[in-house]
Structure 1
Amino acid sequence: MPGIHIVSNTERLSQEVLTKNLEALLHYDNYYRETLGQGQNLWIGFTSYPGYPFETLKRGDLLVVMDGKIYGHSLRDLEEELTGIASKWKEAGQDLSMTVKAFAEKYDGDYLIFLADLKRGNGLFFNDPLGRLSVYLAQKRGIVISREMGFILRLLKNWLEPDPQGIASYLMFSFPLGERTLYRGIRKVRGGVILRLEEGNIFEENYWKWDLGEKQKIQSVRKAAKDLRDIFLDAIKKRIMSFPSDRVILSLSGGLDSRAIALAFKTLSVQYHPVTFLDHEGIYGKDVEIAKEVSKKLGNLTTLIELGPLKIEDIEKLIELKGGLNYIRMSSRIHFLREIKNRFGDRISFYTGDEGDIILPYIQMSSRVKSIEDLVHWLIVRHRVFKEGEVHRITGIDPADIAEEIGNMLAEYPEDSLYHKFLHFLIFERRFKWGFEGEDRNRFFFWSLAPFYSLEFFTYAMSLEEKIKKYHRLYREFLALLDGDLIDLPRAQWGFPITSKKVYMREFMKWVLFQLPTLTAFLDRNVDKKKVKMRDPALIDYLESCLEKSTAVKSIINVREAKKILSQETGMERERFSAILTVLLTFIKFSDIT
């Protein structure tokens, strides 16, 4: 992964070992690596490629690093404020949380900052409030902070231990819960966090708290939509200005989110290239039709990239790149991203509409949820990949332990209402795990931007009361203010436009189904055409060989039970295939490193 890698307690590791591990991260020909600084008990390195935003400043013994981008600003623009934070940090006993929060509130970006006192071997890390760039922290044999999971797994290969609870939750949801990864002692760092590395120890504090129950009283849908439109346009303008020499590529689907970005580009007179893909099964054929229609009406031509079937080499490449944290169903995206790079060159700003569909609409929850226990049950039944009993048979983890962990997380959320706790879980667990890890997959090839995650846009949208968002009223008005001419084009997933009265019927039917989560889950599994069955004999054989391939696999799951469960299926659901194969390949890959 392009980005920073930090090791404390370096007396246990030679420069040769650290350099070797950096070189293992040079995934493509245009990658390069460098050691940024080495002080007493502290080592800082980075890997990158031309076009990846990474800046450094050195002032005496102070090294200032910005990994990622604060849009509209260079590191030199921020030098005075960041050196001021460094000075305050060096004064023992100073509270940094308010100072860092004041800095973060002023700027919009996808970034992390690291301030290194090379003379003393200490460091100060903080990331943006949303944690837009994935960062991992290991506290085994010292302290390692890295943008790439593989760096940690290679560096600590002799001390890796599986986390059974992390594996069980991965099989259930396709992501580990909380800060867990698949390994004990290695966790994902949340957003809005300060880490202080001092005298070989680490101290952590949160400078930002997300409370989705805090609402502002805005009654007018039009005013809210107008405010959001203005914030959205400003956010995109800052992003475009930050990369003036890049080709602007828009991943355009048949949905509303990428369409909103296309409309914003039109308003701002941005020259861009829309690209879309057609999957091997043809499920997204309607998306391709709508994407082409949107482009045509905007005077553009869409580049279509056709994806073949899942390939073993792409599956293994994704495991190498993401260390199991972007599950292998997404491996076909490797071909998509590689093709974009081949066709448009190295200097690319890649825009996606990620998460507009959860930030702007009202997200429904069953009205039968009356307690934390009800909410835990609802979340499990709605989002599980493997059932609780299956997870228990494969991993030995009691499903009650997973339910208890979810319940504890929900109880600790700052929101008072069950609905807002549900929303917090959906956004900060499910969507942020999938979405942010997916964006970092993109960043192995070029810089990926998601304007809906502009801090000001996200904060404003999530502060609006739910009644403004119901029946897509807010989203409809938002799109109309961007460009009323395209609002009547259908959304591919629905088959009708957001202006249709069918939206109301759809939301009502969804509400009815959500009162019966087990029925909804059954329909999802048996009716939803996107639940593709894996029938490729080569891939099924590959999975079976992985079950027998490594002692590492046999130490983390019950192979006999896994085979028994999988053999009962006539064509394995792609979700289940992806979840279990991701776990298996991660341990095979990183347990057999030499």
Structure 2
Amino acid sequence: MPGITAIENPRECTSIDEILRAVCFDDRYRRHEIVGDTDMFVGYTGYESYPVDVFEADEYTAAFEGYLYGTDAVEETIDDAATYIIDGEHEKLRQWIDGRDGDFLLLVADRTSGKLWVLNDVFGRLPTYRATVGETTVVSRELKVIRELARRLDVNLEADRLGVSQTLLFRYSLGTRTLFEGVERLPPGSLLDVETGAITALYKHRFDWFENRSHSTGENVRRLTELFLEACANRASVADETVVALSGGLDSRAVVAGYDHVTDRLSAATSAMKANDEGKEVTVARKVAKALDTDWNFYSVERSDRHLDDVLDFTQGMNNVWIANGLHFAELVADDHTHHTAMLVTGDGGDKAIPDLTCPRSVATTGELVTAIIDELSYFPIDTVSELTGIPEREIVASVRERVDSYPETNLDQKYAHFLVRERGINWLNHGEDRTRYHLWSTTPFYSTPFFFEAMACPPKQKRGTSLYREFLTGLSSTAVEIDYADFDAPITSFEYRAKRYAYNWLGDYPKLKNGVVALLKGRNNRSPGTRDVVRSITDVNKDHLGKDSVISKRQLGHLLNDDEEYSDDQLHLLLTILHAIADDRVVTRTTEPIL
């Protein structure tokens, strides 16, 4: 990932420039040194339009990655935060971050004391990693930097067995955990003292207050619409052009409708695999763009060997290679906008802010809630995960409960909502959106802090059955809301949609049946032409790179491969991703041979 790297006590490592060179992924990338001495190194990598700014003051040097939206006084705002950090005024810093709308990472180096701090936004929109390797502490936007540093210091970063188990179970590990022992993610809304490793939580999410329960649905929709348009305008103001990644769903539709109100420097782009270039998603997206009179471009994408290899090289196992077609889409959009700064805007966060996030089945205890989370959100069955990693099911369940117990909500349904935002949203979907930034900046108005928290303050009863979303989207575009929602083949204003939605919600009490129906409708067992290549690649890794002490059992993986027809394409791709990340060092340095 383009972005900031800080290394404290870098004297053990004499090859920092070579490490940064390893994350210059194409000829657009450059590496930059901001601070370089025997006690600390601060630098960054990125392409010309990637947003990193350096501010020099008498006491400090600050590196700011990303954007603050809705303020013209960026340097003064950064100076306030840096002063609060250096002076240890955490209460003022809490107020500062609470009022900030942005996707950012701020690093502050105090010239007098030699101390170094890192601050991120309340949603952790720019995933950042930290580790101590030998005597050297490193914080970086690039997991590859940490792995490359460890390799050069001859330190083996062991795979984290529980992190691997959680990733197989959900597609993402929980909390600050990663696939590697001793490598953690920076929690959202936190301040890290790099020297001591101390983390100060400056913002704690809580989703059970519902301050807007006394307002009518109409009043809440009017306020949400106002805040959403403001979020769109603030983001449009920092880009030469906005390109909305438009699908057949509701979230990206709301985004393109919102931007249509606030800017004329707007276009929409839709991608599909070559075999699906006339599928539902594309047809609906084309209709939405036409209804809004927005320029629309279609991109035919693929999961080529190069893009699969790129996903591994760029994200080091944090993105499933199954989404290599998404990386190809970002690349094509960036190639079409080389003459100016374009921003790719997604509907990320829309699935969290506006829908009803209540647990889809009734739960009376925390144990029942944990069971519901695993039943509803698991990717590989928990018994399969346990067999592959050797961790008993009860320990995996206990790790999920530990996370749930850490949430501040007293209402079990809202603990479920917290899991969806904190783990699924921040730990998984943020990483997916971050992938786009290898080629161009990406953001979403749904994670505008004023909008998101206003939406989360609306009571679940107003959100049920897509009712709040229907009114919200109608306010943005009465025409776009009447176009089919691709997932249901019907507009959300129709009786047909309400009937299908009711049936889908009813299935929530029967997770196995629900998963079977969804799999049938989505063609879960329809294999892509490259599936046999994936199976062969997993077989090769099992044969050549897994030993008897490997985190993933060589024997159990062999059993899974004997029944590979039981698993979907994306499950097999996830397994391949994890194996390549943990089995050997090929993922650290770009492979000379395709992974498939």
Question: What range is the shorter-chain TM-score in?
Answer: over 0.9
Aligned partners of 2:391, 2:408: CA distance in 1, in Å?
28
Provide Cα deviations, 1:365-402, integer angstroms capped at 9, x if missing partner: 24332111111111112222222221122111111111
Aligned partners of 2:374, 2:529: CA distance in 1, in Å?
27
Question: CA shift at 1:527, angstroms?
Answer: 4.3
1:56-205 pair list within 5 angstroms: 56-73=54-71, 77-91=73-87, 94=88, 96-141=89-134, 142-157=136-151, 158-197=155-194, 200-205=195-200
Q: Is the 8 A contact 1:32 1:48 kept in 2?
A: yes
The one of 226, 229, 234 aligned to 1:230: 226
Q: Give the counterpart letter for 1:174 in structure 2.
A: R
Given the two structures, how large is their TM-score scaled by the length of structure 2? Answer: 0.93
SS in 2 for 1:144: strand
Q: Give the counterpart letter for 2:179 in structure 1.
A: L
Paired position in structure 2 for 1:251: 245
Q: Give the counterpart letter for 1:462 in structure 2.
A: M
Q: Give the counterpart letter for 2:174 in structure 1.
A: L
SS in 2 for 1:139: strand
Aligned partners of 2:193, 2:145: CA distance in 1, in Å?
21
Question: CA shift at 1:566, angstroms?
Answer: 2.4
Paired position in structure 2 for 1:207: 202
Say yes or no: does 1:545 pair with 2:540: yes
Q: Give the counterpart letter for 1:209 in structure 2.
A: K
Question: Which stretch shows the higher mean deviation, 501-510 or 103-112?
Answer: 501-510
1:548-587 pair list within 5 angstroms: 548-551=543-546, 555-570=550-565, 572-587=567-582
Paired position in structure 1 for 2:12: 12
Provide Cα deviations, 1:230-253, integer angstroms capped at 9, x if missing partner: 11111111111122xx23211111
Q: Give the counterpart letter for 1:231 in structure 2.
A: L
Say yes or no: does 1:436 pair with 2:440: no
Question: CA shift at 1:140, angstroms?
Answer: 3.1
After superposition, the CA RMSD in angstroms is 2.1
Say yes or no: does 1:323 pair with 2:311: no
Give aligned-pair identity as a percent: 26
The one of 585, 588, 596 aligned to 1:590: 585
The verdict on how the C-alpha distance between 1:62 and 1:561 changes in structure 2, with shifts beyond 3 A counting, is same
> Alignment length, in residue pairs?
582
Question: Which stretch shows the higher mean deviation, 327-336 or 531-540?
Answer: 531-540
The verdict on how the C-alpha distance between 1:520 and 1:8 changes in structure 2, with shifts beyond 3 A counting, is same
Say yes or no: does 1:528 pair with 2:525: no
Q: Is the 8 A contact 2:175 2:427 kept in 1?
A: no
Q: Is the 8 A contact 1:553 1:588 kept in 2?
A: no
Q: Is the 8 A contact 2:524 2:568 kept in 1?
A: no
Question: CA shift at 1:502, angstroms?
Answer: 2.9
Say yes or no: does 1:465 pair with 2:463: no
Question: CA shift at 1:314, angstroms?
Answer: 1.5
The one of 295, 303, 307 aligned to 2:301: 307
The one of 503, 518, 526 aligned to 1:509: 503
Question: CA shift at 1:362, angstroms?
Answer: 1.3
Given the two structures, how large is their TM-score scaled by the length of structure 1? Answer: 0.93
Question: CA shift at 1:452, angstroms?
Answer: 0.6
The verdict on how the C-alpha distance between 1:369 and 1:352 changes in structure 2, with shifts beyond 3 A counting, is same
Question: CA shift at 1:183, angstroms?
Answer: 0.3
Q: Is the 8 A contact 1:413 1:421 kept in 2?
A: yes
Question: CA shift at 1:515, angstroms?
Answer: 1.2
Q: Give the counterpart letter for 1:518 in structure 2.
A: K
Aligned partners of 1:166, 1:89: CA distance in 2, in Å?
32
Say yes or no: does 1:334 pair with 2:327: yes
The verdict on how the C-alpha distance between 1:365 and 1:502 changes in structure 2, with shifts beyond 3 A counting, is farther
Question: Which stretch shows the higher mean deviation, 361-370 or 180-189?
Answer: 361-370
Q: Is the 8 A contact 2:357 2:416 kept in 1?
A: no
Q: Is the 8 A contact 2:357 2:414 kept in 1?
A: no
The verdict on how the C-alpha distance between 1:268 and 1:412 changes in structure 2, with shifts beyond 3 A counting, is same
Aligned partners of 2:335, 2:566: CA distance in 1, in Å?
34
SS in 2 for 1:184: coil
Question: CA shift at 1:284, angstroms?
Answer: 7.7
1:258-407 pair list within 5 angstroms: 258-282=252-276, 285-308=279-302, 310-345=303-338, 347-407=341-401
Provide Cα deviations, 1:164-204, integer angstroms capped at 9, x if missing partner: 1111111111111221111000011121101123xx42221
Question: CA shift at 1:523, angstroms?
Answer: 2.9
User: Is there any run of 5+ residues in structure 2 with no aligned partner, and where?
Assistant: 590-596
Provide Cα deviations, 1:500-519, integer angstroms capped at 9, x if missing partner: 12343233223321112222
The verdict on how the C-alpha distance between 1:377 and 1:571 changes in structure 2, with shifts beyond 3 A counting, is closer
Q: Is the 8 A contact 2:84 2:93 kept in 1?
A: no
Q: Is the 8 A contact 1:100 1:207 kept in 2?
A: yes
Q: Give the counterpart letter for 2:536 in structure 1.
A: D
Question: CA shift at 1:485, angstroms?
Answer: 2.2
Aligned partners of 1:78, 1:356: CA distance in 2, in Å?
27
Say yes or no: does 1:417 pair with 2:417: no
Aligned partners of 1:492, 1:527: CA distance in 2, in Å?
12
Provide Cα deviations, 1:451-479, integer angstroms capped at 9, x if missing partner: 11111111110111111111211111111
SS in 2 for 1:129: coil
Aligned partners of 2:83, 2:417: CA distance in 1, in Å?
39
The one of 481, 485, 496 aligned to 1:491: 485
SS in 1 for 2:237: helix
SS in 1 for 2:314: helix
User: Is there any run of 5+ residues in structure 1 with no aligned partner, and where?
Assistant: none
